[in-house]
Amino acid sequence: MLGHHEHIGDLYECHLVTRLWIVRARGGKTLLTGGSMAPLTERLSRWTLITFACALANFLLAQALIVLGFTWPSAALTGGATLAAVHLVTIGWLTLLMLGALSQFVPVITSRALLDQRLSAAALVLIEVGLVGMVTGFVTRDMARAPCAWCLVVGGLSVCAGVVLALVNLATPLLRTRPLPLPGRFVRAGFLFLIVTMSLGLLFAFTLRASVSSHGPLLHLASGVGYHAIAGVGGWLTLTAMGVSYKLLSMFMLAPEERGVLGEVVLGLGITGFGLTVAAGLLDLVWHGSVMILAERAGWLLIGASISAYLADLVRLYRARKRRRIELHNRAAAGAFISLAAALVTAAILVISGRAARVAPPLVVLALLGWLGGLGLTQLYKVIPFLSWLTRFGKMIGRGWVPRVQDLVCEPCAALWFFLYFAGVWLTVVGAAIETPLPMRGGAALSTLATLGLSREYWRAWRGTYVRLPPAVSSHAPTIQREDLRHGHP
């Protein structure tokens, strides 16, 4: 060990470049002073875990609608229950999940605090209340007298207000950070597409309200809804998930964070591709022309190139990891990446067959439940224990025995649920492809069961159910378990 100590001394003399923060203890009191970072209490978002809980509840509700046969293919693709389930997944589950994760993630990548913690709470309430209104509006839309047609507009406005608050809160530290690291630039691009998605969604809500109140025929929403979905699922959720995954995967697998040219290519092609597809597709609805069709095809090509580059970069990242034995959340995430690759192939088939603008159920299931939902569930399996650890044990560190983050989970227990989840999703995809309710509902039942199982594992991690105190500690011995601390727990 002596050699190691001498090495420490050398580093002090040679490489001390950036002094960011000083902790100074005097007379038994410990103070944080100086530096550019926010104080501890401001950097840990208080609303992240409750946001995750709401998101999971929304996801389970959407899954229940599919399992019980209220949605396509048992009902119409643009039917109220199908749209309710889709928005419960996209807004209630994925957007809330992403906003909750970003309220923790943005301070990590920017080293700056959010604008105001209370904005996270207000955004959560507005989005949840708005979502209830939207779901009510969708479900009652098909009824003869449309008793709650205004619910969709009011609910949509409430969701938009909540998203705006969340964006103000999250974008402030992002905009103040120069230069912004690559993951942050993915998130920034995702925010722009979120605004586009939200604007298009409101437009559809107002259009729908107008057509219902005038008792006229419903506008041809299906053609435009596709671009609303591409902006949301692609531009907002996929670009943001890519950025967050780059940071999380490299951080937890001890892989290089710098993605070099390939990372820039993924971002550049992704922004251009999604932007071009949505813009050209929407313009084509107004001004039909071969130029718009050509531009939209080019957009799809760029999206395909971006996702291909991302998947290739992930292979590179996994191979370059220093941590050979990776944890369950990173192993299970492979299911999400396989779903993304399958979605890419499905989209290519749709574009080649000229059906790109149509909402294709297998593609939607692969993207929403396989890629984004799968990535969300797997990463929650790390993020929730980590936040739980910080909340419960953070202030005990150095004072006595504390568990590791890994001690809060039981990987063999959760591995089965992840397997069932992805098996269920892929069975749902098959059911959607052959437009048959039984495999679709059966697959959804499997993935719902798995989501319930995983929710139970998250709860156990939060409660510390799996933490086992070493004998000396559990018998109230005052000594610290030095060997445990030095070498990790067995």
Partner 1 sequence: MQPSRDIVLEALRDVIDPELGYNIVDLGLVYALKVADSIVHITMTMTTPGCPAQDYIMMAVCERGLRIPGVKDVDVTLVWEPRWSPVKMVPAARTYFDIPDDPHE
Give the footprint of partner 1 on this chain (CB under 8 A).
1, 4-5, 8-9, 11-12, 15-26, 28, 30, 32, 35, 39-40, 43-44, 104, 107-111, 251-252, 254, 257, 322-325, 386-387, 389-390, 393-395, 397-399, 402, 404-407, 480, 482, 485-489
Dist. CA 408–CA 410, nearest whole Å: 7
Task: Please say which residue, 325 or 476, places its beta carbon nearer to partner 1.
Answer: 325
Token reading at 246: 């780059």
Residue 181 CB, nearest distance to partner 1 (Å)? 9
The DSSP symbol for 160 reads H
Residue 178 CB, nearest distance to partner 1 (Å)? 15
Task: Please say which residue, 70 or 386, places its beta carbon nearer to partner 1.
Answer: 386
Count, residues in the chain: 490
176 close to 188: Cβ distance less than 8 angstroms: no
Residue 424 CB, nearest distance to partner 1 (Å)? 30
Task: Please say which residue, 387 or 450, places its beta carbon nearer to partner 1.
Answer: 387
Dist. CA 71–CA 55, nearest whole Å: 20
Within 10 A of 55 (CB to CB), how many other CB atoms are there? 26
Residue 320 CB, nearest distance to partner 1 (Å)? 9
Residue 326 CB, nearest distance to partner 1 (Å)? 10
Task: Please say which residue, 324 or 476, places its beta carbon nearer to partner 1.
Answer: 324
Token reading at 37: 């970072």
312 close to 338: Cβ distance less than 8 angstroms: no
Task: Please say which residue, 61 or 472, places its beta carbon nearer to partner 1.
Answer: 472
Q: Is 30 helix (H, G, I), strand (E, B) or coil?
A: strand
Residue 475 CB, nearest distance to partner 1 (Å)? 19
- Cis check for the bond before 179: say yes or no (omega within 30 of 0): yes
Task: Please say which residue, 220 or 487, places its beta carbon nearer to partner 1.
Answer: 487
Residue 387 CB, nearest distance to partner 1 (Å)? 8
Helix (H) or strand (E) holding 32: strand 29-33
Residue 479 CB, nearest distance to partner 1 (Å)? 11
204 close to 225: Cβ distance less than 8 angstroms: yes
Residue 311 CB, nearest distance to partner 1 (Å)? 23
Task: Please say which residue, 250 or 447, places its beta carbon nearer to partner 1.
Answer: 250
* 328-352 and 239-253 helices, crossing angle to 10°: 150
Residue 489 CB, nearest distance to partner 1 (Å)? 6
CA atoms lying within 13 Å on the CB side of residue 121: 6
The DSSP symbol for 373 reads I
Task: Please say which residue, 341 or 473, places its beta carbon nearer to partner 1.
Answer: 473
C-beta pairs of 460-465 under 8 Å, 24+ apart in sequence: 460/409, 460/410, 461/384, 461/385, 461/388, 461/408, 461/409, 462/49, 462/384, 462/385, 462/388, 464/388, 464/392, 464/403, 464/408
Residue 108 CB, nearest distance to partner 1 (Å)? 4
406 close to 382: Cβ distance less than 8 angstroms: no
Task: Please say which residue, 117 or 207, places its beta carbon nearer to partner 1.
Answer: 117
Task: Please say which residue, 27 or 412, places its beta carbon nearer to partner 1.
Answer: 27
Distance of CA 158 to the CA centre of its chain: 21
Task: Please say which residue, 13 or 217, places its beta carbon nearer to partner 1.
Answer: 13
Candidates 483, 484, 314; CA nearest to 406 is 484
257 close to 245: Cβ distance less than 8 angstroms: no
